């Protein structure tokens, strides 16, 4: 297993290489939000399904209008939404409402605001244009067209489109199962009584929230203490029935860092465990059979940053998501920033708009254990490695937590 620092991009590529998409399942349309479509949704009918009016008004045949106007037409019949349209009586206009089918023989709709009603007739000053205010069958999508492609994460608009074709169910990728094992003698479960030298375990709540953001099912295992045999047993139990195992803490090389050797004894084949990023250098990546394993650092910022940039893309690839990587924004740095000569730095920062420009302001405390900069930041500014500082106003990539 290599011990040198892997560049960020190479490390993520190695993690995602050869990942197989999970099996699919059929779910109700109302439960499909955020899931990834596993098979094409094909338009079973044209969209719209029939010619209908875009306005309240009057349907008519422009060929019935002779001369330059004004034009007077008797009103015969009515077409309302949800009911069959009557045929247009030649030489007349038909009252019509938004969404109603256009009568056969009509080729235009005149808005009611543009006519004068005189008893059983209407008078219009200007000649309407053929096809105006009519939405024609199939103008949005023809029958047989792929409406939504596989690999699409289903947002509200996609659900609306599926519903327009009468789809009560959709075939989506199964939710990845994620198991989180936090390690350390010093950890307390929130709600327990505090004791000297102990800290409350905070990573599982944040990691679980991020994993659910990518539609995963999350299980938090009991805390594993700094005992080699006990940690191995905890890892073996957690690997049972999981797609992605997250261990938190203990992956460095200290005397009490027992997780990495415990992973190896549990049959996990580690690919790499050091990445050229700050925070998050001691990231262990491996597999055992069908389970993917990420050994995250224990400090909150390191754990959350590495999972956001490595774990979330993995969860998306497992679901066949065509957009596995977050699309970064481009932002200006608010202030000068020193750079690491050998590591990509991921700054917790807040976004604001100044003079029409998106600006990223880094939080003062960038320590890997700092919770306030996690809580109050909008996401991560990517500061590439280099010798010279980046000047204020430099453009950098920025990934929001909401988009990670």
The DSSP bridge partners found for residue 97 are none
Q: Quick one: how far is CA 325 from the chain centroid?
A: 10
HSE, side-chain direction, 13 A CA sphere, residue 404: 25
Q: Which two tokens stand for residue 125?
A: 């000053």
Q: Which two tokens stand for residue 57?
A: 């008004």
What pLDDT digit, counting tens, does each position of 240-294 carry?
999 999 999 987 655 557 999 999 999 999 999 899 999 999 999 999 999 999 9
Q: Does domain 52-135 have CATH number 2.170.190.11?
A: yes
3-state secondary structure of 249: coil
- The predicted structure's pLDDT at residue 255: 52
- Within 190-290, residue ranges assigned H as helices are 203-213, 228-239, 259-265
User: In the chain, where are the structural domains located?
Assistant: 8-22+175-318, 24-47+154-173, 52-135, 329-403
Burial of 2: CB neighbours in 10 Å, binned 0-12, 13-18, 19+: exposed
- The predicted structure's pLDDT at residue 349: 98
User: What number of other Cβ atoms are within 10 A of residue 158's Cβ?
Assistant: 18
- The predicted structure's pLDDT at residue 257: 75
Q: Does domain 329-403 have CATH number 2.60.40.420?
A: no
HSE, side-chain direction, 13 A CA sphere, residue 360: 29
| Residue appearing with tokens 């949800």 | 82
Report, as ranges of residue numbers, the positions in the chain whose pLDDT lies below 50: 1-2
- The predicted structure's pLDDT at residue 33: 97
Cα 19 from Cα 108, distance rounded (Å): 55
Q: Does domain 8-22+175-318 have CATH number 3.20.20.110?
A: no
Pair type for strands 92-96 and 395-400:
unpaired
DSSP letter (8 states) at residue 75: E
pTM over cut 0.85 = yes
3-state secondary structure of 52: strand
- The predicted structure's pLDDT at residue 191: 92
């Amino acid at each position: 297993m290599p011990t040198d620092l892997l560049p960020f991009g190479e490390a993520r590529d190695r993690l995602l290489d050869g990942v197989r998409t999970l099996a699919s399942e059929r779910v109700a349309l109302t439960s499909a939000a955020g899931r990834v479509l596993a098979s094409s949704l094909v338009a079973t009918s044209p969209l719209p399904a029939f010619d209908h009016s875009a306005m309240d008004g009057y349907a008519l045949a422009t060929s019935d209008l002779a001369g330059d106007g004004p034009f007077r037409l008797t009103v015969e019949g009515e077409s309302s939404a949800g009911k069959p349209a009557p045929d247009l009586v030649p030489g007349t206009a038909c009252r019509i409402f938004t969404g109603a089918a256009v009568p056969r023989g009509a080729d235009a709709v005149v808005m009611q605001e543009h006519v004068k009603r005189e008893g059983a007739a209407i008078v219009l000053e200007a000649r309407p244009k053929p096809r105006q205010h009519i939405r024609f069958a199939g103008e949005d999508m023809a029958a047989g067209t792929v409406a939504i492609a596989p690999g699409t994460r289903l947002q509200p608009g996609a659900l609306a489109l599926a519903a327009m074709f009468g789809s009560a169910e959709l075939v989506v990728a199964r939710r990845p199962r994620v198991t989180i094992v936090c390690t350390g003698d010093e950890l307390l479960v929130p709600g327990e009584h505090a004791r000297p030298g102990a800290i409350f375990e905070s990573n599982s709540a944040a990691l679980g929230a991020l994993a659910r953001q990518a539609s995963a099912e999350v299980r938090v295992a009991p805390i594993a203490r700094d005992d080699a045999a006990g940690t191995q047993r905890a890892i073996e139990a957690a690997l049972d029935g999981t797609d992605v195992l997250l261990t938190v803490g203990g992956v460095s090389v200290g005397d009490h860092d027992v997780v990495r050797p415990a992973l190896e004894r549990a049959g996990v084949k580690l690919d790499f465990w050091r990445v050229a990023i700050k925070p998050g250098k001691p990231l262990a990546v491996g597999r055992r059979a069908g389970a993917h394993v990420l050994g995250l650092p224990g400090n909150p910022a390191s754990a959350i940053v590495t999972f956001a940039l490595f774990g979330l893309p993995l969860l998306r690839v497992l679901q066949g998501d065509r957009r596995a990587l977050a699309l970064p924004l481009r932002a200006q740095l608010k202030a000068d920033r020193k750079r690491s000569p050998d590591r990509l730095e991921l700054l917790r920062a807040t976004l604001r708009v100044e003079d029409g420009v998106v600006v990223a302001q880094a939080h003062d405390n960038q320590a890997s254990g700092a919770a306030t900069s996690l809580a109050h930041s909008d996401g991560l500014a990517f500061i590439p490695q280099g010798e010279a500082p980046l000047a204020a106003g430099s453009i950098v990539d920025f990934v929001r937590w909401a988009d990670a």
